[in-house]
């Protein structure tokens, strides 16, 4: 419930934050309509060229700077500047652009185009300096570099070029130089206004006055309510009319939003503001609906998780109740003991087994984790081996005790049961106590021989185990012996194998990847297994040395130490008689440890070595202790 409250609080806070951002955007949009953008302009007028002076660029620059300040621009003005001064001004302009919404560059002076690129000429340039295109790039400033800076700032940009005057510098250059300026490729959110069409020249006006283009531009900029495109159109028509068509300004490109030098009247602003506010309200409604949908989805998932937790707790309570009932029944059974203090017997009313835990149909040896049938004489008499094998199938078909993985025990498993009760008797200084424990915990326990599941290679005989002297011997299959069963500790499902002795879950495919591979490729295979949820799980990893050794030990117990590979191949697919990679690395960065099932040993191998791969689930089972495993140097 705490998780649900926290999630709801986070979503509500996020919703309020989003609304605040939206309101801020709406206010900003409304203000922008009134011309309250952060505006910055660089105005350059170059007249005092040594070889080709001009009359009015400085006058034009002054007039333009004054007009721009009237419309809210922060203006940087440079007059009669050399190349270094022009470079520093453009650099300063670029820095201020990053803090602005609109940028404007105005240039009046000489300009030249070479190979369709435009260059702005500083006043310290001499005609003799320009012999070829290389001199041009060194001694002038490329217009393209300026426009790149404006584009990178992410602002709405306006470029005004009154640099198409008759230019004597082009005579010194190659044939690629042309009169006037070339039309440039206009970046996004940029409008460019040329004093005349590309390739032609513009009038410089009379001494002490402004050029025709700048004069008309400044006049039209003062009119309120004209959008930038309308200003440019009016300037083009006026200049063309004044010059009888000799000079025709052109413009190219559009901004990402409307721009006014002087904002429209209030009623127009209100109308645009209302449109923007309506759009913002629609966006907020959609955003709020999406947040409510996500909230309902999260609430549903949390409620489902709480219901699963409640059901899990109910099931756990039922299991605890069943265990308590079983323990009471066990104590009641043990209270029917022999006389207290009689030599050679156990006072079972006071002494309960430390290791054996009984339920209605099973007995679990907690020392080994092996689960046995509580009935230690399932056929109620000694039977042939063939009949014992049939009885295993009947037990599994009927799901005796709720399980269908019963089998005949191995010699090792029967010996482990004997060792458990024998050790407990010796701990109590009562050597015959093991017989009493077996008789009380297992119904119909026989102090005789029991069939194992181990056969001779020619299938003519099978092993039996005798609890009287803890010995194993071969019996002809026509002989009789008693039957007790154990649960298979390597339980295979479709894609996994569970080791009931250790609780470790393995991939059923014991040769993942279809063959041996280098260590560096294993991580990709593990990721692929988890991404595809192999077996329904996504926590697969490489096993440790101890985990692989524990699997080897479990297989030994299943087959009585006779054939580890036989036991493993009964549960796993494609098990290889070769080394398997572990998750453990050596002290050198170029090696990792492998485990060999044939010798139950570990080796340090180079990462380029090829080994097989099988994986385990979940946490690392560090508590497993199946003895010391030697690690040898890599081969």
Query: Model confidence at 500, in pLDDT bands (50, 70, 90)?
Result: confident
The domain boundary residue, chosen from 441, 464, 487: 487
Does residue 130 lie within any of the structural domains? yes
Question: Which range is least confidently modeled, 208-212, 252-256, 531-535, 606-610?
Answer: 208-212
Does residue 349 lie within any of the structural domains? no
Q: What pLDDT sits at residue 578?
A: 73
Per the structure, the complete domain to which residue 542 belongs is given by 490-632
Query: Model confidence at 82, in pLDDT bands (50, 70, 90)?
Result: very high
Q: Is the pLDDT of residue 418 over 50?
A: yes
Question: Which range is least confidently modeled, 173-182, 345-354, 474-483, 525-534?
Answer: 345-354
Residues 6 or more apart in contact with residue 548 via CB below 8 angstroms: 580, 582, 595, 597
The H or E element containing residue 256 is none
Q: What pLDDT sits at residue 178?
A: 58
Q: Is the pLDDT of residue 59 over 90?
A: yes
Q: What pLDDT sits at residue 631?
A: 41
Residues 6 or more apart in contact with residue 442 via CB below 8 angstroms: 363, 372, 374, 375, 376, 484
Does residue 497 lie within any of the structural domains? yes
Give the rounded distance of the alpha carbon of 90 from its chain centre: 43
The domain boundary residue, chosen from 452, 487, 522: 487
> Based on the domain organization, do 221 and 242 belong to the same domain?
yes
Q: Is the pLDDT of residue 517 over 50?
A: yes
Q: Are strands 39-45 and 102-108 parallel, antiparallel or unpaired?
A: parallel
The domain that holds 85 is classified in CATH as 3.40.50.1460
pLDDT tens-place string over residues 594-608: 998 878 888 888 889
Query: Model confidence at 470, in pLDDT bands (50, 70, 90)?
Result: confident
pLDDT tens-place string over residues 160-191: 998 765 556 665 555 455 555 767 778 888 99
Q: What pLDDT sits at residue 559?
A: 57
pLDDT tens-place string over residues 420-443: 877 776 666 555 666 777 777 777
The domain that holds 441 is classified in CATH as 3.10.100
Share of the chain above pLDDT 90, in %: 23
Does residue 351 lie within any of the structural domains? no
Q: What pLDDT sits at residue 43?
A: 97
Q: What pLDDT sits at residue 102?
A: 95
Query: Which single residue is written with the structure tokens 């369709």?
Result: 116
Q: What pLDDT sits at residue 453?
A: 84
What is the 3 state secondary structure string of 568-634? HHHHCECCCCCEEEEEEECCCCCEEEEEECCCCEEEEEECCCCEECCCEECCCCCCCCCCCCCEECC
Q: What pLDDT sits at residue 214?
A: 93
Q: What pLDDT sits at residue 574?
A: 83
Query: What percent of the residues of the chain are helix, what percent strand, and what percent coil, each to the nearest 5?
Result: 40, 20, 40
Question: Is 158 strand, coil or helix?
Answer: strand
Q: What pLDDT sits at residue 629?
A: 41
> Based on the domain organization, do 315 and 378 belong to the same domain?
no
Mean pLDDT of 249-262: 89
If one counts the domains in the chain, the total is: 4
For residues 1 and 65, is the Cβ–Cβ distance under 8 A? no
> Based on the domain organization, do 366 and 483 belong to the same domain?
yes
Query: Which single residue is written with the structure tokens 């130089």?
Result: 177
Q: What pLDDT sits at residue 185?
A: 77
The domain boundary residue, chosen from 420, 454, 487: 487
Mean pLDDT of 381-405: 88
> What does the alpha-carbon distance between residue 217 and residue 449 come to, in Å, rounded to a whole number?
116
Looking at per-residue confidence, does 68 or 324 come out higher?
68
102-108, strands of its sheet edge to edge:
73-79, 39-45, 102-108, 156-162, 190-194, 250-252
Q: Is the pLDDT of residue 24 over 80?
A: no
Strands (DSSP E) contained in 501-590 are: 504-507, 540-541, 579-585
Which candidate, 574, 553, 559, 560, places its Cα nearest to that of 628?
553
Query: Which single residue is written with the structure tokens 């209302």?
Result: 274
Mean pLDDT of 558-565: 60
> Based on the domain organization, do 453 and 512 belong to the same domain?
no
Does residue 69 lie within any of the structural domains? yes
For residues 80 and 108, is the Cβ–Cβ distance under 8 A? no
Does residue 341 lie within any of the structural domains? no
Q: Is the pLDDT of residue 544 over 70?
A: yes
> What does the alpha-carbon distance between residue 79 and residue 58 come to, in Å, rounded to a whole number?
6
> Based on the domain organization, do 110 and 243 belong to the same domain?
yes
Query: Model confidence at 209, in pLDDT bands (50, 70, 90)?
Result: confident
> What does the alpha-carbon distance between residue 194 and residue 83 come to, in Å, rounded to a whole number?
22
Looking at per-residue confidence, does 95 or 118 come out higher?
95
pTM, full prediction: 0.41
Q: What pLDDT sits at residue 345?
A: 37
Q: What pLDDT sits at residue 334?
A: 43
> Based on the domain organization, do 508 and 594 belong to the same domain?
yes
pLDDT tens-place string over residues 111-164: 888 777 888 999 988 766 666 777 777 888 889 899 999 999 889 999 999 876
Query: Model confidence at 634, in pLDDT bands (50, 70, 90)?
Result: very low
> Based on the domain organization, do 480 and 494 belong to the same domain?
no
> Based on the domain organization, do 273 and 330 belong to the same domain?
yes
Which of the given ranges, 301-310, 372-381, 439-448, has the highest pLDDT on average? 301-310
Q: What pLDDT sits at residue 632?
A: 41
Which candidate, 235, 249, 252, places its Cα nearest to that of 191?
252
The residues with which 465 forms a beta bridge, in sequence order, are 450, 472
Q: Is the pLDDT of residue 445 over 90?
A: no
Does residue 162 lie within any of the structural domains? yes
Mean pLDDT of 242-264: 88
Query: Model confidence at 90, in pLDDT bands (50, 70, 90)?
Result: very high
> Based on the domain organization, do 468 and 547 belong to the same domain?
no
Q: What pLDDT sits at residue 42?
A: 97
| Torsion sign, CA atoms 569, 574, 576, 581 | negative
Mean pLDDT of 374-401: 86
The rounded mean pLDDT for the chain is 79
For residues 249 and 194, is the Cβ–Cβ distance under 8 A? yes
> Based on the domain organization, do 501 and 617 belong to the same domain?
yes
Mean pLDDT of 55-79: 94
> Based on the domain organization, do 201 and 83 belong to the same domain?
yes
> Based on the domain organization, do 474 and 503 belong to the same domain?
no
pLDDT tens-place string over residues 301-356: 888 888 888 888 888 788 777 767 755 655 554 444 333 333 333 333 334 677 78
Which candidate, 461, 471, 537, 466, places its Cα nearest to that of 504?
537
Does residue 347 lie within any of the structural domains? no
């Amino acid at each position: 419930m705490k998780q649900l409250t926290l999630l709801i609080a986070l979503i509500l806070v996020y919703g309020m934050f989003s609304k605040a951002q939206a309101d801020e955007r709406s206010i900003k949009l409304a203000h922008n309509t009134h011309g309250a953008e952060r505006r910055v302009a660089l105005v350059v007028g170059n007249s005092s060229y040594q070889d080709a002076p001009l009359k009015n660029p400085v006058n034009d620059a002054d007039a333009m700077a004054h007009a721009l300040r009237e419309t809210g621009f922060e203006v940087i003005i440079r007059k009669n500047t050399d190349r270094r001064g022009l470079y520093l001004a453009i650099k300063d302009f670029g820095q201020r652009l990053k803090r602005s919404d609109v940028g404007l560059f105005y240039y009046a002076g000489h300009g030249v185009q070479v190979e369709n690129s435009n260059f702005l000429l500083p006043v310290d340039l001499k005609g003799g300096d320009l012999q070829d295109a290389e001199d041009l790039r060194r001694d002038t400033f490329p217009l393209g570099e300026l426009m790149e800076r404006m584009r990178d700032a992410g602002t709405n940009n306006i470029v005004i070029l009154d640099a198409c005057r008759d230019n004597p510098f082009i005579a010194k250059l190659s044939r690629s130089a042309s009169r006037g300026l070339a039309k440039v490729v206009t970046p996004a959110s940029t409008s460019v206004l040329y004093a005349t069409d590309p390739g032609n020249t513009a009038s410089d006006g009379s001494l002490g006055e402004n050029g025709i283009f700048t004069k008309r531009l400044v006049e039209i900029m003062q009119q309120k309510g004209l959008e930038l495109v309308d200003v440019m159109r009016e300037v083009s028509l006026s200049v063309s009319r004044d010059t009888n068509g000799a000079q025709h300004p052109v413009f190219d490109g559009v901004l990402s939003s409307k721009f006014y030098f002087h904002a429209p009247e209030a009623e127009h602003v209100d109308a645009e503001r209302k449109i923007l506010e309506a759009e913002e309200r629609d966006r907020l409604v959609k955003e709020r609906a999406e947040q409510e949908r996500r909230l309902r989805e999260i609430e549903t998932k949390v409620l489902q998780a709480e219901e699963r937790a409640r059901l899990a707790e109910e099931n756990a309570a039922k299991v605890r109740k069943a265990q308590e009932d079983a323990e009471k029944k066990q104590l009641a059974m043990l209270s029917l003991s022999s006389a207290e203090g009689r030599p050679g017997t156990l006072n079972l009313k006071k002494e309960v087994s430390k290791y054996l835990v009984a339920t209605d149909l099973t007995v679990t040896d907690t020392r080994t984790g092996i689960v046995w049938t509580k009935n230690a004489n399932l056929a109620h008499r000694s039977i042939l081996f063939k009949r014992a094998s049939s009885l295993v199938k009947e037990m599994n078909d009927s799901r005796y005790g709720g399980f269908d993985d019963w089998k005949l025990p191995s010699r090792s498993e029967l010996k482990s049961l004997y060792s458990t009760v024998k050790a407990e008797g010796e701990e109590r200084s009562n050597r015959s106590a093991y017989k009493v424990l077996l008789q009380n915990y297992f119904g119909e326990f026989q102090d005789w021989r029991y069939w194992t599941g181990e056969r001779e290679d020619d299938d003519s005989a099978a092993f039996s185990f005798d609890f009287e002297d803890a010995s194993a011997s071969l019996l002809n299959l026509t002989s009789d012996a008693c039957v007790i069963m154990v649960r298979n500790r390597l339980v295979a499902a479709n894609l996994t194998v569970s080791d009931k002795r250790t609780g470790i879950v393995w991939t059923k495919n014991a040769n993942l990847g279809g063959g041996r591979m280098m260590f560096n490729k294993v991580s990709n295979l593990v990721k692929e297994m988890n991404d595809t949820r192999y077996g329904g799980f996504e926590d697969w990893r490489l096993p440790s040395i101890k985990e692989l050794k524990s699997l080897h030990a479990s297989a030994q117990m299943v087959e009585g130490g006779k054939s580890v590979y036989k036991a493993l191949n009964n549960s796993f697919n494609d098990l290889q008689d070769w080394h398997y990679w572990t998750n453990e690395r050596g002290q050198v960065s170029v090696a990792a440890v492998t485990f060999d099932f044939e010798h139950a040993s570990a080796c340090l191998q180079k990462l380029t070595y090829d080994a097989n791969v099988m994986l385990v689930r979940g946490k690392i089972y560090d508590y497993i202790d199946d003895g010391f495993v030697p690690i040898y140097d890599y081969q």
